Amino acid sequence: MNILVINCGSSSVKAAVIDGSSGNRLLTMKIERLLDEHPIIHFSDKEEPISCPSSGHENALRFALPLIKEHLGDHELHGVGHRVVHGGDKFDQPIKITNEIEKAIEDLSSLAPLHNPVNLLGIRIAEEVFEDLPHVAVFDTSFHQTMPKRAIQYALPKHLREKYGLRRYGFHGTSHNYVADMAAAHLKTDIQNLRIITCHLGNGCSITAVEYGRSVETSMGMTPLEGLVMGTRSGDVDAGILVYIAKEEGMKMKAINKMLNKESGLKGLSGVGNDMRDIIQRSTEGDDDCRLAIQVFAHRLRKYIGAYAAVMGGVDAIVFTGGIGENSPVIRHRTTQRLDFLGAVLDEDLNHDLKLSTEQPVAEFSAPHSRTKLLAVRTDEQFAIAQETVRIVEEQTKVNTVPTIPIAVSGRHIHLTQEVVDVLFGEGYELTEKAPLSQPGQFAANERVTLVGPKNQIERVRILGPCRSKNQVEISRTDEFFLGVDAPVRASGHIQNSAGIKLVGPEGEVTLKEGVICAWRHIHMTPEDAKIFEVNDKDIVEVEVIHGTRPLTFGNVLVRVSPKYKLEMHIDTDEANAAELPRHSEGVLIDTDGTAKLVKRKLKH
Ligand code: AMP
């Protein structure tokens, strides 16, 4: 697929048409000096820049985007991927843009006033110009949505945190995610077995702890100002300083904001500007301020690397990326020397000679025996956005052509015979309905009992009605360990030789000899559904979750067909937690052509 990737920023617009599988550019376009009378447009396939007839983002985009169509000639476009800076806590992955999504991006503008409004403007104009194409939003923040609560909280008063959504979000997520994946591929190790620290050192700088594929800490916070020393941003400062200089200098908030974002960082330290190349050059010529700028920059970074290794309880690879990380042996050297205590041993020659290119986007600069690998990785946020756009467009096509299956999480529960109900609740007792269940005729009862295992007991376990001909207790693996019973994974109804357990109700107790199972993940469906999915009762199939936070397939799913059922897949709480499924997820039966894939195996019982 050819994807147009648009990064509509506050001072420039960058766009590229990218082959979503190879990363090859069909063309690139840049609009600069947006606020000049005539913004300038550069196309990669043209030497001469084009002058835009009128000023501002909107005019420039309306003029430039149709030119992309012209420049593409016969090449077809399949989707448009938009970089969006702030996704707040609403977006934990890229998403197809609809009116609702646009509204949500707009609502998040207060968190990123310089970025989200222009990102949205880019989206709206591109939707007019490329009206038949799917548009996808890829958020800088979404990769960090996996950070645990302890990492995102500021120690500020609760009412303010809640009122204004004050918390850490993190940025550069697309880049951190991309380079962590590249590092794992280079190391030929599943990312789920790696603890990686990724250092994105460009004009903006941030560092992330990627633990087994998930961001668990990152240095930027609610805004991109927190953390490392950057080109013109200060990174961490004692907030008390702001109060102090506001008072002493009589500075207003706007001026403080400008000072922190535009006049600090390398620029503020060196006094010569934000370009690391100049600063390194001048430091070699004896400029003390530039030397200090490099020292502070590298020291802050080392400090964070140590902290993030501690956060993850170790580190397998440290990755350098961004203009500085990819190109500066000096900064890599200063940061990673004497990291032997973390198992990272720098190889001076490899570091010095390192050159990244399209052909070699990853290079190691640690010594061969270094337990922790030091890597430089070429980041490519545009390609990452194109890849995500392809994924969402393909997913969407699948959703539109293949029937989907709602996935429900089934908590621990009990089915009882009337005989046992009599003992537990009193002779002739009838279960009372609390709420109907999705499967017709079934209900969650108000009544609950205690499960007593050899090790522990679990109280208030819900009974499902109506009564059945056999007693059956369905628990998760975690429950099984907690109770101390050995429950087999079985299809509902297959309780022969399963584990026993004691049930305690308000009026009496019963010890079941068998009936405790871990329910085999299954799909309920009607014979009509079975025809659509081309499956039969007791087939074993694979289901791909299509709205989960990450790509996920459940293998070994049992199909149960009955006219009494309603289409729904049931998994237990352990599985849902492990898979981090959102509350409403859906799946599709997978096969290469999008239709049902059957593992040729039948249920034995
Ligand atoms: P980016 O935002 O990723 O384009 O990175 C921009 C930063 O990378 C600027 O501070 C540049 O000075 C820096 N940079 C680019 N090349 C080098 C280099 N060879 N050595 C040091 N810094 C570099």
Average pLDDT over residues 262-279: 97
Element at 175 (helix H, strand E):
helix 173-186
Same-domain status, 510 and 579: no
pLDDT above 70 for 604: no
Query: What is residue 589's predicted lDDT score, i.e. its pLDDT?
Result: 83
Domain assignment present for residue 397? The answer is no
Domain assignment present for residue 331? The answer is yes
Q: How far is the CA of 22 from the centre of ligand 1 (A)?
A: 25
578: domain CATH number is 2.40.40
Same-domain status, 267 and 185: yes
pLDDT above 60 for 255: yes
Of the listed ranges 69-83, 465-479, 499-513, 585-599, the one predicted with least confidence? 585-599
Domain assignment present for residue 585? The answer is yes
Q: How far is the CA of 73 from the centre of ligand 1 (A)?
A: 34
Query: pLDDT averaged over the chain?
Result: 92
Which residue range(s) make up the domain with 200? 180-382
pLDDT of 489-521, one tens digit each?
A: 888 888 988 999 999 999 999 999 999 999 899
Residue having the nearest C-alpha atom to atom 20 of ligand 1: 328
Average pLDDT over residues 453-475: 96
Query: How crowded is the C-beta side of 504, counted as CA atoms within 13 Å?
Result: 8
135: domain CATH number is 3.30.420.40
Average pLDDT over residues 395-400: 73
Same-domain status, 448 and 469: yes
Q: How many CB atoms lie within 10 A of CB 405?
A: 24
Given 19, 45, 140, 572, which residue is catalytic? Answer: 140
Q: How far is the CA of 195 from the centre of ligand 1 (A)?
A: 26
> Is 140 a residue of the active site?
yes
Domain assignment present for residue 391? The answer is no
Please, which pLDDT band fits residue 459 given cuts at 50, 70 and 90? very high
Domain assignment present for residue 78? The answer is yes
Same-domain status, 45 and 189: no
Cα–Cα distance for residue pair 427/430, rounded to 1 Å = 9
Q: How far is the CA of 379 from the centre of ligand 1 (A)?
A: 13
Cα–Cα distance for residue pair 285/296, rounded to 1 Å = 18
Same-domain status, 360 and 471: no
Cα–Cα distance for residue pair 219/269, rounded to 1 Å = 20
Element at 165 (helix H, strand E):
none
Query: What is residue 587's predicted lDDT score, i.e. its pLDDT?
Result: 86
Same-domain status, 188 and 273: yes
Last residue of a domain, one of 139, 167, 200: 139
Same-domain status, 473 and 565: no
pLDDT above 70 for 600: no
Number of structural domains found in the chain: 4
* Pocket (CB within 6 angstroms of ligand 1): 202-203, 231, 274-277, 280, 322-324, 327-328
Please, which pLDDT band fits residue 547 given cuts at 50, 70 and 90? low
Domain assignment present for residue 576? The answer is yes
Same-domain status, 232 and 344: yes
Residue having the nearest C-alpha atom to atom 19 of ligand 1: 327
Q: How far is the CA of 226 from the centre of ligand 1 (A)?
A: 20
Last residue of a domain, one of 478, 493, 518: 518
Average pLDDT over residues 567-585: 83
Residue having the nearest C-alpha atom to atom 8 of ligand 1: 323
Same-domain status, 513 and 527: no
Q: How far is the CA of 98 from the centre of ligand 1 (A)?
A: 36
Same-domain status, 535 and 494: no
Domain assignment present for residue 442? The answer is yes
Cα–Cα distance for residue pair 274/332, rounded to 1 Å = 18
Q: What are residue 7's DSSP bridge partners?
A: 14
pLDDT above 70 for 485: yes
pLDDT of 73-93, one tens digit each?
A: 899 999 999 999 999 999 999
Q: Is-contact 496 604, C-beta < 8 A?
A: no
Q: Is-contact 322 175, C-beta < 8 A?
A: yes
> What is the best residue among 324, 330, 357 to mutate for testing ligand 1's pocket, by most ligand atoms within 8 Å of CB?
324
pLDDT of 121-166, one tens digit each?
A: 999 999 999 999 999 999 999 999 999 999 999 999 999 999 999 9
Q: How far is the CA of 11 from the centre of ligand 1 (A)?
A: 18
Same-domain status, 377 and 420: no
Average pLDDT over residues 346-359: 97
Query: What is residue 49's predicted lDDT score, i.e. its pLDDT?
Result: 93
Percent of the chain with pLDDT over 90: 79
Q: How far is the CA of 321 from the centre of ligand 1 (A)?
A: 10
Cα–Cα distance for residue pair 339/306, rounded to 1 Å = 9
Task: Pick the atom of ligand 1 nearest to 280's CA.
Answer: 21
Query: What is residue 581's predicted lDDT score, i.e. its pLDDT?
Result: 78
- Pick from 290, 374, 368, 303: which is nearest to 333 by CA? 374
Considering just the CA atoms, what is the radius of gyration of the chain in Å?
29
Domain assignment present for residue 204? The answer is yes
Same-domain status, 121 and 195: no
Residues with Cβ within 8 Å of 272's Cβ and at least 6 positions away in sequence, in order, are: 278, 279, 282, 287, 289, 290
pLDDT of 421-440, one tens digit each?
A: 999 999 999 999 999 988 88
Query: What is residue 483's predicted lDDT score, i.e. its pLDDT?
Result: 96
Cα–Cα distance for residue pair 163/152, rounded to 1 Å = 16
Whether the model pTM is above 0.75: no
- Pick from 182, 195, 190: which is nearest to 372 by CA? 195
pLDDT of 154-207, one tens digit each?
A: 999 999 999 999 999 999 999 999 999 999 999 999 998 999 999 999 999 999
Average pLDDT over residues 307-326: 97
